[in-house]
Structure 1
Amino acid sequence: MRKIRGSAFVSLDGVMQAPGGPTEDPTGGFAHGGWLPQFFDEDIGGAIDAFFGHDYDLLLGRRTYNIFAAYWPYVGGEATGIGEVFDRIGKDEGEAAAIEMGEAFTRANKYVLTRGTPELGWSNSHRLGSMDELRSIKEGEGPDLLIQGSSTIYPELLAAGLLDRLTLMTFPVVLGPGKRLFGEGTPAKGLRLVDHQVTRSGAVIATYEPGGKIAHGWAGPQSTSGREQARQHAIADGSW
């Protein structure tokens, strides 16, 4: 069975909107597009390389698909054969790496999870209208499905039990309002840490897998004081 693995760049306060550039996603008046590059280092680059280091298909939300489709096929110019051109003329290594990733994304199957009927003109793109359709893809043959960005699909993935692994790259910045990884509708779930790393720029790369149900209990002895009883009464009658 294929696995679904997610990766996201997030701030300390959980914002993941528009890390790559000022015009990437200004939804809601977001004013901090392009907040990631100042923290990018070799460790982050290595983690991204490792995430995309094997054969994969992409799983994307509709907005992230639109961002990708408008960018990755055109890095450096026309999409076809660009990697070979840049190898010949000796352009900047980072730009050449971006072109190589764009070509890999174009070759990969791209599954777009959406209830609408968007135009999917990028080659090898496929619409998925429900979690049941996604489950069928996951249970079929093929490489793992990788998510980059796409904040809106995580609540449903967690609720359906379809997310196998999640890598969060958390950066030392607080952004305030913006799209968050675990937004409205996220179910309560336990996660288990399977790997972690602190980068030289201060980012924390942590990888999680499903960890089962949340257990409830007291962190210390339960108070039975009169003040605690009064507090509980205030909670119950809505005056606390």
Structure 2
Amino acid sequence: MRNVVAATFLSLDGVIQAPGGPEEDSAGGFSHGGWTFHYWDEPMGEVMEKAFAEEFDLLLGRKTYDIFAAHWPHAGDDPVAMKFNACIKYVATSAPKTLNWQNSVALRGEIAAEVAALKRQDGPKLLLQGSSELIQLLLAKDLIDEFNLLIFPVVLGAGKRLFGEGTMPAAFTLVESRVSSTGVIMATYRRAGAVTTGSFVLPAPSEDEIARCEKNLSAA
């Protein structure tokens, strides 16, 4: 079995759009592209280096694939470039013949079903980078096993968000966390079953509490 691990840059209000530069994605009039640039420091580099140290294949949407394919094959002997160039790139695309980056494989047909089939195979983890539309599809089908989140101390107000309306409810466990000198929270969350609920209602609720609950029930 292979796990899908989503490595995502995230604002405080949940935006993941165009973290690396204005040219990445201006859809919807998004004007804050490159919002992560001024927060990078050595601890963040160490966390990223650790994330890329393990074996992985990439899982990408088409827009992120095009951004990566225009950059990493030309990045020389950069350690990340060497990893990205060598691994298999599984790409959700309707134009498979235009995948020119080495070791690229098109996911066609029903994408969620193809990712589910990849998860059932033996092999390295499937590292999901960027790819906001693909993330939404996989969240709706409950196919993401782990999140590596870098949460930046910035509110963007608008933009594509990590957790959309179709997200399946799920519980996660915090596996590891660290904070950079610039206030970025770097946290790994792993899938931990279904959401569990409880109640802080008093064992003997007051008349006011009973009336409030009855009002809520009648309004439902």
State whether TM-score is above 0.5.
yes
Task: Give distance in 1, aligned partners of 2:134 and 2:114.
Answer: 14
Task: Give distance in 1, aligned partners of 2:217 and 2:22.
Answer: 50
1:183 corresponds to = 164
Per the TM alignment, residue 205 of structure 1 is displaced from its structure 2 partner at its CA by 0.9
- Aligned residue among 152, 159, 173 for 2:154: 173
2:183 corresponds to = 202
SS of the counterpart of 2:9? strand
When residues 209 and 229 of structure 1 are mapped into structure 2, their CA distance, relative to the original with a 3 A threshold, is closer
When residues 151 and 223 of structure 1 are mapped into structure 2, their CA distance, relative to the original with a 3 A threshold, is farther
2:30 corresponds to = 30
> Which has the larger displacement, 158-167 or 199-208?
158-167
**1:125-180, Cα deviation, whole Å (9 max, x unpaired):** 11113222222222223222111112222343344443222111101100110011
Task: Give distance in 2, aligned partners of 1:164 and 1:176.
Answer: 28
Normalising by structure 1, report the TM-score: 0.80
Task: Give distance in 1, aligned partners of 2:17 and 2:69.
Answer: 17
Q: Is the aligned partner of 1:235 residue 2:219?
A: yes
Number of aligned residue pairs: 214
- Aligned residue among 124, 134, 137 for 1:156: 137
SS of the counterpart of 1:212? coil
Q: Kindly report the root-mean-square deviation, in angstroms, between the aligned alpha carbons of the 2 structures.
A: 2.2
**Contiguous gaps of at least 5 residues in structure 2:** none
Per the TM alignment, residue 102 of structure 1 is displaced from its structure 2 partner at its CA by 2.5
2:116 corresponds to = 135
2:95 corresponds to = 117
> Which has the larger displacement, 213-222 or 225-234?
225-234
2:196 corresponds to = 215
CA contact (8 A) 2:5 2:126 kept: yes
SS of the counterpart of 2:192? strand
CA contact (8 A) 1:159 1:186 kept: yes
**Contiguous gaps of at least 5 residues in structure 1:** 76-81, 84-98
CA contact (8 A) 1:155 1:187 kept: no
CA contact (8 A) 2:141 2:168 kept: no
**1:2-48, Cα deviation, whole Å (9 max, x unpaired):** 22212111010011111111211111111101110111111111111
Q: Is the aligned partner of 1:52 residue 2:36?
A: no
Task: Give distance in 1, aligned partners of 2:160 and 2:191.
Answer: 23
Q: Return the letter of the residue paired with 1:219.
A: F
Task: Give distance in 2, aligned partners of 1:223 and 1:47.
Answer: 50
Normalising by structure 2, report the TM-score: 0.87
Per the TM alignment, residue 185 of structure 1 is displaced from its structure 2 partner at its CA by 1.1
CA contact (8 A) 2:20 2:34 kept: yes
Q: Return the letter of the residue paired with 1:64.
A: T
Runs of 4+ with >4 A deviation: none
| Percentage of matched positions with identical amino acids | 44
**1:107-128, Cα deviation, whole Å (9 max, x unpaired):** 21100124x3352121211111
Q: Return the letter of the residue paired with 2:86.
A: R
SS of the counterpart of 1:202? coil
When residues 229 and 183 of structure 1 are mapped into structure 2, their CA distance, relative to the original with a 3 A threshold, is closer
CA contact (8 A) 1:152 1:181 kept: no
